[in-house]
Amino acid sequence: MSPTSQPTPVPEPDSAPGPAALQPLLPSDPSALAGYRLLGRLGAGGMGVVYLGRTDTGALAAVKVTHADQADQPDFRARFRREVEAARRVVSPWAVPVTGADPDAPEPWMATAFVPGPSLGEAVRAHGPLPERSVRILGGAIARALAAVHAAGLVHRDVKPGNILLAVDGPRLIDFGIARATGETGLTSTDMVVGTPGFLAPEQAEARAAEIGPASDVFALGCLLAFAATGRPPFGTGALDALLYRTVHDEPDLAGLPEPLLDLVRQCLAKEPAARPTADEIAVRLTEDTPGAPADWLPAPVVSTIAARSAAMLALPDIDATEVPTAPPTKSRRGFLLLGAGAAVLAAGGGAYALWNSRRDGSDADGKPPAPKPRNTWAIGVLADLSGPAQEIGRAQERGARLAVERFNAVHKGKPFTLELKVSDDRGDRGGAFAAARRLTSDPSVIAVLGPTSDDTGINALPAFEEAGVPLLTTSAGYNLFTLRGETGPPNTTVLRAIPSHFMAGTFLAWSTTLLPQVRRPGVLQERTDDQYSWQYVSGARFGFRQAGLEPHFRVVPGRATDYRSILGEMIDAGIDTYVHCGVRSTAVLAARALDELGFTGPRFTGQHVFGSKFLKEAGSAAEGWFVCAPVIDPVQRAADTKQKPADRKATQDFLDAYRRRYGADPAFYTGESFDVVNLVTSWLSSNAAKGPLTRKGLWEALRKQKYSGAMGGYTFDKNGELSGVGTFLYGVQKGAYKFLGAAPAEPANTKSGKS
């Protein structure tokens, strides 16, 4: 990074700090900071110091501390706070997480998970270029990390070998010191070159601030891949001005790059941002044909370096007991102690894993546990799919929860406790869902969790919540077994479902068709891609049509079926006048196209797993005229609905205004409901904080009894934790967009007998 382009408070060393680089503390250094015992120095610069810290549980962290004179400079704290906020907004297993921070301290500090492996730059300099498979896995993981950065509305702006740490379970992206919200130009001069020459995009090299965006990180990733595979930067080395000139005007030197990687790297290094692929696209292209597991992804010499450093970490001296001083700290920085709760990070086998550990027992000599002490900080957890097939919903849920937590802290500033948001990405992977849940439930500060995004991951994660007694509130998982355990099973005391079950949603869908008087012979297709979902929807629809006095024509097909023209042609020949699709989005697209080709003009209905922007995009004009039932409301349309009570419209508008200020756009579907559900929890917490120490015990029942009115409507729950009322809403596809038509009916609106 050039001397003129360093807004980051404490520069990270280009080679990752490890035990070999650990230097002893100086007499002027503190011995402890915010619950971290400092073991040595990892790096230092004109703006501050990076220490190796350890909690009383033995977890290691890199603790960045800035000098007080830097903190007093104009705009400094704003930059540091932005760095902390940026790092916290990025949720990815391939980005090193923040474990604690205080931008408002006399000497602002931030702690991140410590990875004992070398940086990519150090590894390549010591052991040479990486083999093709290693480069693919490296690039795929960093591309996923950047996708999370971009999904959070940020641009990293300094993707370089020194900011990639290597662990045996994969690489980690670090340092958000100069990350910036997309399109943001504040706090930095518009003619300042920000980043590291040799790994800058042309728009960065020429300081074209308005053009710097996610595609700039993609260009840097292309440089990174070329460096990893060849051992040299694609635009050479030397004087900074020469590097910047070559980046803008010259073609990259890719000699020696493996042939299968050439095309992708060239696309990443396109001079025009619009010509580059997205980070998500790169992740797929780099990993789709990579064989084997990532455990052996690095060459043996690099693994040996990681192992040696990990062993050195385990050999660090034990921490002596430290008593909390009763008097104010002295002016000497050694012994300066700020009490805080840092998240624990265990360095194991070279990888850094977040382990949210409880405190030590603390029992007295008689074995009696101490009386619970009020916490200064509690956390709301989010278990969501942020990088898998349902990431569009998961990211909306995370944003809604984050906005609710920030609102609570702003309104309740100075009250007995503050709230944090702790997020765990299950990636839509049912195999890793339990571990993703345990990252939250084993953290004693997490009092309730929003999630899951999907049925499959939720069912696998549920035992973790049941074991820990942590309430789980979902705005998108409709599988009936979350709340209904059968006559012989234990009652639900864990899940509050803020949407109808799939069975009830299928019933409301069937009743929605009866709003149209011409419906007499509906055709119901059950396709079995997601068998539990489609079966429950069909079961609900069967019940609903029976209540309406209608006799549907049912058809069941396997999930692998693709010839929807023949399937639906048979249903049309059987005399159907309405089509109801009980299946997933991909097959609804096939059905929409087939119905268009067959000239079917009757109404077409479908449910939750089809609803979303992808159906509109993939089905195109064939989506026109479809009716889709979903458990969410468009807040923009709700705020504009003059039929709403003034107080309800104001609540919705206040949410919209807050979201637009925070994210600069209108909220996606599922954001408002997630905002409401977290506010349901926080409203109870704020009302009961003064009554005694808050605990998880009894919280599910207390929340279940709440009658909460939020931005998207009212929420009450029955004895099983199910949402009371309808909770399903009807949309029509008009001109390529969803038009909100209102709530689904609570009973059949039109039957053969003429009931209305």
- Tell me the catalytic residues: 158
Sort residue 48 into left (φ over 0), alpha (ψ -120 to 50) or beta: left
Non-local CB neighbours of 61 within 8 Å, separated by 6+ positions: 36, 52, 53, 54, 55, 99, 100, 111, 112, 113, 114, 342, 345
Query: Which residues, listed in sequence order, are joined to residue 605 by a DSSP beta bridge?
Result: 580, 627
In contact, 33 and 109? CB cutoff 8 Å: yes
Instruction: Please tell me the total number of residues recorded for the chain in this structure.
Output: 756
Q: What are phi and psi of 42, to 5 degrees?
A: -100, -25
Burial of 323 (C-beta count, 10 Å sphere; 0-12/13-18/19+): exposed
In contact, 553 and 575? CB cutoff 8 Å: yes
Q: Is the peptide bond before 452 cis (omega within 30 degrees of 0)?
A: yes
C-alpha separations of 607 from 530, 632, 732 in Å:
13, 12, 12
User: Pairing between strand 170-173 and 60-66?
Assistant: unpaired
DSSP H or E run through 43? strand 36-45
In contact, 454 and 428? CB cutoff 8 Å: yes
- Any idea of the CA torsion for 473, 478, 481, 485, to the nearest 10 degrees? 70
Q: Which two tokens stand for residue 624?
A: 């026109």
C-alpha separations of 370 from 361, 363, 366, 430, 698 in Å:
9, 6, 11, 39, 20
To which residue do tokens 């039957």 refer? 751
- The residue type of 183 is G
Please list, residue by residue across 166-200, b when 16 or more beta carbons sit within 10 angstroms of its beta carbon and e when fewer do: bbbbbbbbbbbbbbbbeebeeebeeeebbbbbbbb
Q: Which two tokens stand for residue 66?
A: 């800035």
- Any idea of the CA torsion for 124, 126, 131, 133, to the nearest 10 degrees? -70
Burial of 342 (C-beta count, 10 Å sphere; 0-12/13-18/19+): buried
- Sign of the C-alpha dihedral computed for residues 661, 667, 671 and 675 taken in this order: positive
Non-local CB neighbours of 161 within 8 Å, separated by 6+ positions: 14, 119, 120, 121, 124, 199, 224, 227, 228
Q: Which two tokens stand for residue 165?
A: 């740490």
- What is the Cβ-side half-sphere exposure of residue 488, based on CA atoms within 13 angstroms? 0
In contact, 115 and 96? CB cutoff 8 Å: yes
Diameter of the chain measured on Cα atoms: 90
User: Pairing between strand 578-582 and 604-606?
Assistant: parallel
Q: What is the DSSP string of 143-206?
A: HHHHHHHHHTTEE-----GGGEEEETTEEEE---TT-EETT--TTS-TT---S-TTS--HHHHT
Q: Which of 70, 53, 71, 75 is nearest to 62 (CA)?
A: 53
**For 553-610, where are the alpha helices, taking DSSP H only?**
564-573, 585-598
